[in-house]
């Protein structure tokens, strides 16, 4: 069973004005499709074929660049689309809100730390909110298509929120203004999905 590009759960223009339709169309249809195709080519005929993407990344040989880059790209973008929504924004609630307060002091403190990770990631990469093995939350950044499932990368644990800070994610609309893109992302975060991922991680 080859990996398949997941269907975008909303229209390309659904996240405007925060993320523009052209960026979404190219990002999903070209970039994510490319990672998916290249991942399938990289694992075809190997013992990784048929495994889940989580299993592949958790047990990854970090020297296997094709699977590291494209498996990461496949997983990261699948998560990214799901944690955004045209009805997003606002603040988390319930257990996730409690865990954020406990880990960071307040939602504002979390937002600052996450935004700093996104803005401070040199070059291409991602900012993450992760659930560590002890169930607590952490924020980190990773380069390229790495993520915190991979051995020895980032905060270590299950990512439940991720922000793509590759220029392909924002350059058409924001050019060099990555901080504006990071701020806009908070208007489309699907906290219901992040909460659901938090609950499943335990």
Contact segment (CB under 5 A) with Mn ion among 45-53, 120-128, 145-153, 156-164 equals 156-164
Total of chain residues touching Mn ion, rule CB under 5 A: 3
How far, CA to CA in Å, does 78 sit from each of 20, 98, 141?
Answer: 18, 26, 18
Residue at shortest CB range from Mn ion = 164
Among 164, 174, 181, 191, binds Mn ion (CB under 5 A): 164
Assess 166 for contact with Mn ion (CB under 5 A).
yes
The answer to whether residue 104 forms part of the interface with Mn ion (CB under 5 A) is no
CB of 5: closest distance to Mn ion in angstroms?
A: 13
Structure tokens at 52: 């889940």
- Please state, in angstroms and rounded to a whole number, the distance separating the CA atoms of residues 73 and 84: 17
Q: Is there binding between residue 146 and Mn ion (CB under 5 A)?
A: no
Stretch that binds Mn ion, among 3-11, 90-98, 109-117, 161-169 (CB under 5 A): 161-169
Q: Which listed range, 48-56, 96-104, 142-150, 160-168, lies at the site for Mn ion (CB under 5 A)?
A: 160-168
- 148 exposure class (CB count in 10 Å sphere: 0-12, 13-18, 19+): buried
- DSSP-H helix ranges across the chain: 21-26, 33-43, 53-58, 65-82, 94-104, 107-120, 171-174, 178-185, 191-201
Q: Tell me which DSSP letter residue 46 carries.
A: S
Q: Which residues bind Mn ion (CB under 5 A)?
A: 164, 166, 169
């Amino acid at each position: 069973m080859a990996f398949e590009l997941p269907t975008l759960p909303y229209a390309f223009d659904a996240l405007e004005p925060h993320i523009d339709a052209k960026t979404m169309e190219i990002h999903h249809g070209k970039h994510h499709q490319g990672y998916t195709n290249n991942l399938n080519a990289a694992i075809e005929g190997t013992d990784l074929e048929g495994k889940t993407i989580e299993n592949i990344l958790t047990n990854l040989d970090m020297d296997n660049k094709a699977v590291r880059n494209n498996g990461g790209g496949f997983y990261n973008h699948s998560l990214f689309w799901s944690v955004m929504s045209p009805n997003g924004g606002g603040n988390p609630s319930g257990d996730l809100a409690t865990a954020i307060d406990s880990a960071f002091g307040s939602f504002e403190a979390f937002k600052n730390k996450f935004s700093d990770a996104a803005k401070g990631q040199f070059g291409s990469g991602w900012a993450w909110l992760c659930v560590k093995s002890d169930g607590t939350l952490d924020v980190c950044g990773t380069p390229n298509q790495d993520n915190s499932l991979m051995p020895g990368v980032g905060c270590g644990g299950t990512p439940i929120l991720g922000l793509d800070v590759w220029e392909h994610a924002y350059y058409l609309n924001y050019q060099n203004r990555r901080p504006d893109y990071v701020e806009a992302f908070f208007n489309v975060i699907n906290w219901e999905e992040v909460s659901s991922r938090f609950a499943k991680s335990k």
